[in-house]
Amino acid sequence: MAQAPADPSNVETADPEESSPNMIVYRKIEDIITRMQDDKTGGVPIRTVKSFLSKIPSVVTGADIVQWLMKNLSIEDPGEAIHLGSLIAAQGYVFPISDHVLTLKDDGTFYRFQAPYFWPSNCWEPENTDYAIYLCKRTMQNKARLELADYEAENLARLQRAFARKWEFIFMQAEAQVKIDRKKDKTERKILDSQERAFWDVHRPVPGCVNTTEMDIRKCRRMKNPQKVKKSVYGVTEESQPQSPVHVPSQPVRKTTKEDFRKQITFLNVQIERHCLKMSKVAESLIAYTEQYVEYDPFITPAEPSNPWISDDTALWDIEMSCSAPALLLSWDPMKDAAGRIGLVIGQWPFPLHGGGFGTGARGV
């Protein structure tokens, strides 16, 4: 019978540079989580809470996490700390003990830290077979906290139909896991059950929640090997693991050819020859242009009378037709217009255009 690996160090992991484009983010989050759990450096207080008939071991409150983030990461806005904590929780590093939705709340809600074995930096890509074993195992344990949610029951029924020929094997694996769990200490088993549930809440999230395990296609293109490492959560060997109806075998990676290098060189040369301006210069140009025409821009300076383009009053056009030449020059900017330049050269400005009005009609002001 397959057994769940007890030591995370025995898990075979791929080179982080080739396994996940999010590895830098994972390492930063794990550094924060490590500091949170360090009592010597003022971490978040982890305690056992006594309830009416039982104890809730190794929990922290959402308010404690928010306060720690604000204090140790120099965050002044509580909303920003809650947002950061929710992003960390969405990756599964911290999770609520009684909710499938992985978000952080600034209240007395109890949270628990995820075991390093289940961290996303281990490059998990669990198969549907593992998920079926997990759900089947939950149905074998008569615990109120292990009852399946509605969406989990639907997933179990769907997997049972998909793996109809292999369901006996899945059932045997689930039975073996239940026997192993029963030998563990009650407190330890309660913590591990919640951590396992949080792991699957990340990889098989509640309908309507964002799946944080999906890779950005742009990041995957930059990876040397975009394929994740497939490994079983419960130690099911590759030979005995049936093919998932969702995951299809990945195609072999095509070797780079000379033509690919030529295309890449051509693309880079085009990028080099592009005329690029510094953002500071672009900003200065836009600000100067806006300041020059702010008086004649009806979106910035409300027109009096009202703008004819958004109302039935055409009095504004009548006023503009009778205004002085300097105002028309400023608003029209004839030096940027071919007809305006000709009019200035021959000394016949202002002069009527197609609509019978003056140059301002070219700008629609």
| Average pLDDT per block of 10 residues along the chain, 365 residues long | 43 49 89 93 91 87 96 94 95 94 94 94 87 93 82 94 93 92 90 94 91 74 53 59 42 74 89 83 90 78 75 78 60 64 63 43 40
Q: What is the pTM of this model?
A: 0.59
**What's the rounded Cα separation, in Å, for the pair 112 and 49?**
12
Angle at 95 between CA 94 and CA 99, to 5 degrees: 170
Per-residue model confidence (pLDDT) at position 362: 41
Beta bridge partners of residue 56, listed in sequence order: 49
Q: Residue 98: which residues within 8 A CB-CB, separation 6 or more?
A: 110, 145
pLDDT at position 236, please?
65
- 356's tokens: 């019978």
Q: Which of these, 37, 18, 149, 28, lies nearest to 87 by C-alpha position? A: 28
On whether the CB atoms of residues 95 and 194 are closer than 8 A, the answer is yes
Residue 271: the pLDDT is 83
Tokens of 237: 């060997």
- pLDDT computed for residue 246 by the predictor: 39
CA distances (Å), 81 to each of 61, 115, 162, 181, in order? 14, 23, 43, 37
Q: Give the pLDDT confidence score for residue 329 in this predicted structure.
A: 59
For residue 334, the model assigns a pLDDT of 59
Task: Render 256-282 in DSSP notation, one character per residue.
Answer: P-HHHHHHHHHHHHHHHHS----HHHH
CB contact at 8 A, 114 and 195: yes
Q: What is the pLDDT of residue 222?
A: 60
Hey, what domains does the chain have and what are their CATH numbers? 22-122 (1.10.10.10), 128-203 (1.10.1240.60), 279-344 (no CATH)
The single-letter DSSP state of residue 333 is: -
DSSP symbols for 72-96: HTT---HHHHHHHHHHHHHTTSEEE
